[in-house]
Amino acid sequence: MRLQSAVKSSSASIAMEGSEGTSKIHVIHPVTKLISTFPSTRYYGSKRKLLRSIYAHIRGIQFNSVLDAFGGTGSVSLLFKAMRKAVTYHDGLLFNEDVGRTLLADEIALSRTAVQDFFANVSPCTGVISRNFEGIFYPAMENHWLDGFAKLLNDRSLTVGQGALLRYLVYQACLKKRPFNLFHRANLHLRTNTGIARSFGNAVTWERSFEHHILQAYDELQHAIKPFALSSHILPSGNAEDIPTGYDLVYIDPPYVGLQDRYNRDDYWRRYHFLEGLARYNDWDARIDARSKTREFAPPSWISAWARLGSFKERLFALIDKHRSSIVVLSYVTNAHPPEAEIKEYFESKFANVSIHSAEYSHALSKLRKRELLFIGYPRT
């Protein structure tokens, strides 16, 4: 009983685990304190800044298992894990599967020394990136370094977790070295032009080495990974519509679709196709569309369907309906399609009780302040 009370309490306490004759003691920290240790990210749409608000509205809900259907940066899955829930992480992008495997692991797959040794042995070479991306995202020497990383990764015998960790660290470094942290435009000149005043970005950050950013990301992981009681499950990347039902709570943070389709072209695939290519390095070359200014490759059809006015609402409502026997928590935003009034009406048609919460926030790439919405539907018995 004492241990159960400690787990539920928001104050720090001590729990003991271990087989007979052995014990392992660790501190159970308050969830709000753990949130501050979660790794930072330059990923567009991250919920990291909103975690305290989300936690305030879900902390009183009784549930044990949870599906994070559009897991992205993993920050909300980390919140659920800090709440000591059985977390299942899923995302549509393969590179985010690496993110989930790394952030939600019970321990870091490689020591800091092993990571340093690995990257010290990267030898720049010619490969997929240097052949296809000259002058697009990174200078030539950095393109060759990334090819060298991919070659070394292929040459080493690594576990799934170790490979995911090393790619995760490179993803974080790649984001930091990009103006706006995105890959939907061929705008290397914004980084390389000298002697001009900039109102965005950080030239010092851009010019730091991959190794510098990699070790910085690793150090943040060391602070984030805690000895939580329950291990997490990482689903293969794919369409969220294919995930089976049966979770106590389903958290849905879908792509937000604007009211004009011309603004929806820059979806998550276009913003992060380069990282997706890194995750698929061995068959990336054959996929690249040489006619594309940013050397994109074609996404699965359902990626586009989740980002277009004509199909988004149908898919979102079908996903909510599929999981109506679970508690469904939907993160949404004002001034998106469909409008919040329509979502409220749909929730009320499917669930016994519905609550709606909001919080104001701003995004680094926009001067406009928006309201983040949280719809919570409780199933009918």
16 is a domain residue:
no
Q: Are residues 315 and 371 in the same domain?
A: yes
pLDDT of residue 196: 59
Q: How many separate domains does the chain show?
A: 2
Asked if 90 contacts 108 with a C-beta cutoff of 8 angstroms, the reply is no
Six-digit token string for 156: 């080493």
Q: Are residues 294 and 310 in the same domain?
A: no
pLDDT of residue 18: 47
Q: Are residues 254 and 273 in the same domain?
A: no
Q: What's the angle, vertex CA 159, arms to CA 153 and CA 164, rounded to 5?
A: 65
Q: Mean pLDDT, consecutive 10-residue segments, the chain of 381 residues?
A: 35 44 59 89 81 95 98 95 96 97 95 98 98 96 98 97 98 93 88 65 84 96 81 96 98 90 82 97 96 96 91 97 98 93 98 93 58 95 83
DSSP-assigned letters across all residues of 80-149: HHHTT-EEEE--SSHHHHHHHHHHT-SS-SS-HHHHHHHHHT-----SHHHHH-TTTSS-HHHHHHHHHH
98 is a domain residue:
no
163 is a domain residue:
yes
Q: Are residues 337 and 203 in the same domain?
A: no
Q: Are residues 161 and 184 in the same domain?
A: yes
6 is a domain residue:
no
Q: Are residues 74 and 130 in the same domain?
A: no
pLDDT of residue 264: 75
Asked if 304 contacts 312 with a C-beta cutoff of 8 angstroms, the reply is no
Q: Are residues 216 and 275 in the same domain?
A: yes
254 is a domain residue:
yes
Omega of the bond leading into 338 within 30 degrees of 0 (cis): yes
pLDDT of residue 21: 47
On the 0-12 / 13-18 / 19+ scale of CB atoms within 10 A, 13 is: middle
d(CA 197, CA 359): 34
Q: Are residues 189 and 287 in the same domain?
A: yes
Q: Pick the last residue of a domain from 246, 277, 299.
A: 299
pLDDT of residue 16: 44
Q: Are residues 145 and 276 in the same domain?
A: yes
99 is a domain residue:
no
pLDDT of residue 27: 60
186 is a domain residue:
yes
Element spanning 357, H or E: strand 353-362
CATH number at residue 243: 3.40.50.150
Residues forming a β-bridge with 358: 373
Give the residue numbers spanning the domain of 288.
108-224+268-299
Residues forming a β-bridge with 15: 26
Q: Are residues 288 and 208 in the same domain?
A: yes
Q: Pick the last residue of a domain from 276, 299, 322.
A: 299
Q: Pick the last residue of a domain from 251, 283, 299.
A: 299
13 is a domain residue:
no
DSSP-assigned letters across all residues of 206-265: HHS-HHHHHHHHHHHHHHH----SS--EEPPSS-GGGS----SEEEE-PPPBPSSGGGSS
Q: Are residues 184 and 206 in the same domain?
A: yes
Q: Are residues 152 and 198 in the same domain?
A: yes
Mean pLDDT of all residues belonging to the chain = 88
Q: Which of 316, 311, 112, 67 is nearest to 225 (CA)?
A: 112
